[in-house]
Chains A and B, each alone.
Chain A
Amino acid sequence: MRWKTAPGEEVSAMSGFKPRTGTPATYVHVYVHTVAVRCVSLPRGKISTYLPYGFRIQQWSIETTMKSCLRASASIEDDHDMDVDTATSASQGPAKHALPELEIYSYLLVLIFLIDQKRYNEAKACSSASIARLKNLNRRTVDVLAARLYFYYSYSHELTNSLAEIRGNLLALHRLATLRRDELGQETLLNLLLRNYLHYNLYDQAEKLRSKAPRFEAHSNQQFCRYLFYHGKIMTIQLEYTDAKESLLQAARKAPVAARGFRIQCNKWAVIVRLLLGEIPERTVFMQKGMKKALTPYFELTNAVRIGDLELFRTVADKYSSTFSLDRTHNLIVRLRHNVIRTGLRNISISYSRISLADVAKKLRLDSSNPVADAESIVAKAIRDGAIDATVDHANGWMVSKETGDVYSTNEPQNAFNSRIAFCLNMHNEAVRALRFPPNSHKEKESAEKRRERQQQEEELAKHIAEEDDDEF
């Protein structure tokens, strides 16, 4: 069977990087990188129609598929006409001159095809084989493809529920990528490892790895988004809510519009973190396009926290308990109970200048054996934490609220003003930086030393200007 005989399918993956006769290998390298990797998503739709013809994958086992795959990729190189007759090539010996890049790319295509066909166990075997092959290759030109392959390697294991098996392997690959200075590989593998740990709720291990892994400027926006999301999750569990909020909001903002599921997850976690911080997310957060339905449980939860109604909070938590355990946010929601009580107490403190503790307990709907004693200690703690400005009269069983102090007599407004300006300026600077091209990607390659020299000069110049600026004041 001839590849060219499939009309209308010419633009398929394999014929996509058909090199001309006698093309130097470098040409293929460039081609593989610029076109093939970006096009992985493009042929994906066509793979399902195309691959069965090309490799007769339906009847063949993985090994034969891979063999023919490799042979085909070798033939692309050798065969001028791209005539791959499976009947004759089957009788030929295994390909000797296949470029590793083509080999890895073939693995990638077969893997994606198998996953799309829901043949997960075969995909798992295929990915393990490809990783074993990858470990023996030490070519910088394979790195980009390898990063994609790592992802599908982990994905196929996640689909077969065997992520724990590959943890050691991923760690070894991450070490290898670090030694080879393959930053894209490191980035991808670090995310896969974090995902692996978080899949089993191993937050401790995840944080230890995250804080010790080498950091550098992100190469891929998608990987950076994932990293931010995982970081946000870890910080939430470890009660670092401010850091968590920043990471989660940034992840939601940076994620591409098409990644709806990812953005929904980010928003769910961000909502909870903001509630735990005592903030109330705006209504627009829940009304985002395509997310309204998924965020409904969290919207009702926010409502309960906002009003400070413990009874309503309990009802919502019960009503959506299956959703919350599916999202693995159940334990966080238990933590929110404290915030509901605080809000309720603050509302009471604002409304009444003096109120009996029995009434406080009734209004907060505390259900325990001794509600008055509970209310008294809760009020005491709230006063101590500065949540309300009041005193407890133990003898009479009263809570006496003080006049709400004038917040403008403190430094609070100035601090709030400063943090908002800092946020805006930071956002502007990041946006400008994101618009810049990577240094000299189009011009001639500049050596690392030269670049350092140039950066140093630039820095000095900037410092000079800054100093002059200071002098002017």
Chain B
Amino acid sequence: MDPQMTEVTQLFGRFKAAFIRNDFVSCNSLLSQLKVLLTKFPSLPPSFQESPNAVQELTIAREIYEHAVVLSVKTEDQDAFERDFFQLKPYYTDTSGILPSSPQEYPILGLNLLRLLVQNRIAEFHTELELLPTSALDNPCLKHAVELEQSFMEGAYNRVLSARQTVPHETYVHFMDLLAKTGHPEWEIKDGFVFFQKAKESAPCKEIPSLQLINQTLSYARELERIV
């Protein structure tokens, strides 16, 4: 076996042991060492060089990043989540010809959807959603996120609140708690009730906006003069 591969495998073994012990401090330091070691593998994205160890290298790298994403959820570091997820994504999208798909793929994609929802990044949420095949939407992890978004849109907050009990994966609880704790730009949750922020009031106007009217009328006159 390749000496670099042996080193990575050993280090990853120690990382997993620390991960199970919930020893996040040593996890983080081991992870940064692993990431540095991974840069020496030629077959990883973005270069995708063909090498005899390609399958082995890609598999272990994918597994490391999957763990990194879950670790970032446990340490509640959203920036790290985003970074690690984007590093992981090419393994899901561009290695379909080389590797068998990972069992962790849908749970992690669902987790990412949930994160975008919690951060109120709805446009990105839908952009990510378009990338999923129709069959994937039957997966409980993805279904959970998609239904949550629908409840949001409709305003069925009671379903949002009860969704915490039906999470498909333990890591999802963190984001659901975040949702209940920090709420949303438009509303917040207190003692099981949803409180809305006050929306802009569109009260009937008391004054005629004369300046605006004059400007508009003048511009019509100018344009009309050009036509006639």
Give A residues with C-beta under 8 Å from B: 201-204, 237-240, 325, 330-331, 334-335, 337-338, 341, 368, 370, 373-374, 376-378, 380-382, 384-386, 405-406, 409-411, 414, 418, 421, 425, 428-429, 466, 469-470, 473
Contact of B126 among A238, A421, A429, A470 (CB under 8 A): A238
Contact present for B199 and A386 (CB under 8 Å): yes
Chain A residue at minimal CB-CB distance from B223: A425
The reply to whether A337 and B130 contact each other, CB–CB distance below 8 Å, is: no
Q: Is B158 a contact partner of A377 (Cβ separation < 8 A)?
A: yes
Contacting pair A337 B154 (CB below 8 A): yes
- Contact between A338 and B150 (Cβ–Cβ < 8 Å)? yes
- Tell me which of B126, B134, B158 contacts A237 (CB under 8 A): B126
Chain B residue nearest to A470 (CB atoms) is: B218
Q: Does the CB pair A469–B150 fall under 8 Å?
A: no
The answer, among A201, A337, A377, for a CB contact under 8 Å with B131, is: A201
Give B155's nearest chain A residue, CB to CB: A381
Asked whether, in the complex, the Cβ of B159 is within 8 Å of the Cβ of A374, the reply is yes
Known contacts being A202-B131, A373-B158, A473-B218, is A239 close to B126, with CB within 8 Å? yes
**Known contacts A377-B194, A466-B222, A473-B218: does B130 contact A331 (CB below 8 Å)?**
yes
- The prevalent SS among residues of A at the interface is helix
Interface check B103, CB cutoff 8 A: no
> Is B47 in the interface zone, CB < 8 Å from A?
no
Whether, in the assembled complex, B153 has its beta carbon less than 8 Å from a beta carbon of chain A, the answer is yes
Query: Given A337-B154, A381-B154, A386-B199: A237 and B222 within 8 A (CB)?
Result: no
Bound form: Cα–Cα A385–B196 in Å: 10
The answer to whether B216 and A331 have CB atoms under 8 Å apart is no
Considering only residues 144-176 of chain B, those with a C-beta below 8 Å from chain A are 146, 150, 153-159
- Complex Cα distance, B204 from A380, in Å, reads 22
State whether A378 touches B131 (Cβ < 8 A).
Answer: no
B54 at the A interface (CB under 8 A): no
**B127 touches which one: A237, A370, A376, A414 (CB < 8 A)?**
A237
Contacts of B126 in A (CB 8 A): 237-239, 331, 335
Is A409's CB under 8 angstroms from B204's CB?
Answer: yes
What interface size band does chain B fall in? 35 or more
Whole-angstrom distance between the Cβ of A384 and the nearest chain B Cβ:
5
A338 contact from B153, B202, B223, B227, Cβ within 8 A = B153
Please, which residues of chain B bring their CB within 8 A of the CB of A237? Answer: 123, 126-127, 130
Bound-complex Cα distance A401 to B148 (A): 29
**Across the interface, do B155 and A377 meet the contact criterion of CB distance under 8 Å?**
yes
Q: A414 vs B126: C-alpha distance in the bound complex, in angstroms?
A: 35
Q: Give the residue name and chain of the A residue nearest to B203 (CB).
A: A410
State the CA gap A425–B225 with chains docked (Å).
Answer: 12
Measured between beta carbons, the chain B residues less than 8 angstroms from A370 are 158
Contact B158 A239, beta carbon cutoff 8 Å? no
Contact yes or no, A374 B156, CB < 8 A: yes
Which residues of chain B from 113 to 136 have a CB within 8 Å of any chain A CB? 122-124, 126-127, 129-131, 134
Q: Which of B131, B134, B159 contacts A325 (CB 8 A)?
A: B134
Contacts of A201 in B (CB 8 A): 130-131
Contact indicator B225/A428 (Cβ below 8 Å)? no
Q: Would A410 and B196 count as touching, CB distance under 8 A? A: no
- Contact indicator A341/B158 (Cβ below 8 Å): no
Closest to A330 in B: B134
Could you list 11 A-B pairs, sorted by A, with CB under 8 Å?
A: A201-B131, A238-B127, A239-B126, A325-B134, A335-B126, A377-B155, A380-B155, A384-B199, A411-B209, A414-B209, A429-B223
Contact B157 A410 (CB under 8 A): no
Write out the residue numbers on chain A whose beta carbons fall within 8 Å of the beta carbon of B1.
none
**Closest partner residue, chain A, to B227 (CB atom):** A428
Q: Which residues of A contact B124 (CB under 8 A)?
A: 204
A418 touches B216 (CB 8 A): yes
Please tell me if B36 contacts chain A, counting CB pairs below 8 Å.
Answer: no
The answer to whether A405 touches B204, judged by C-beta atoms less than 8 angstroms apart, is yes
> In angstroms, how far is the closest chain B Cβ from the Cβ of A327?
13
Contact B150 A337 (CB under 8 A): yes
B residues 196-228 near A (Cβ < 8 Å) are 196, 199, 202, 204-205, 209, 213, 216, 218, 220-223, 225, 227
Q: Which residues of chain A are within 8 angstroms of B134 by Cβ–Cβ distance?
A: 325, 330
A410 vs B201: C-alpha distance when bound (angstroms)? 12
Residue of B nearest to A341 (CB): B154
**Which residues of B lie under 8 Å from residue A409 when comparing CB positions?**
204-205
Which residues of B have CB within 8 Å of A385? 199
B128: nearest residue on chain A (CB-CB)? Answer: A204
Q: How far, in whole Å, are A237 and B216 apart by their CA atoms in the complex?
A: 34
Q: Nearest chain-B residue to A239 (Cβ)? A: B123
Q: Which residue of chain B has its CB nearest to the CB of A234?
A: B127
Residues of A within 8 A of B153 (CB): 335, 338
Q: In the complex the two chains form, is B204's CB within 8 Å of A374's CB?
A: no
User: In the complex, which residue of chain B has the Cβ closest to the Cβ of A473?
Assistant: B218
Q: What's the Cα separation between A405 and B202 when bound, in Å?
A: 11
Q: Which residues of A contact B146 (CB under 8 A)?
A: 334
Name the residue in A370, A381, A385 with the highest tally of chain B Cβ atoms < 10 Å from its Cβ: A381
Residues of A within 8 A of B205 (CB): 409-411
Q: Are A469 and B155 touching (Cβ within 8 A)?
A: no
Which of B186, B220, B223, B227 gathers the greatest number of chain A CB atoms within 10 Å?
Answer: B223
Contact A382–B129 (Cβ < 8 Å): no
Inter-chain contact B156/A377, CB cutoff 8 Å? yes
User: Closest residue of chain A to B133, judged by CB?
Assistant: A201
From B196, B199, B222, give the contact of A469 (CB < 8 A): B222
Question: Chain A contacts of B202 at CB under 8 A?
Answer: 386, 410
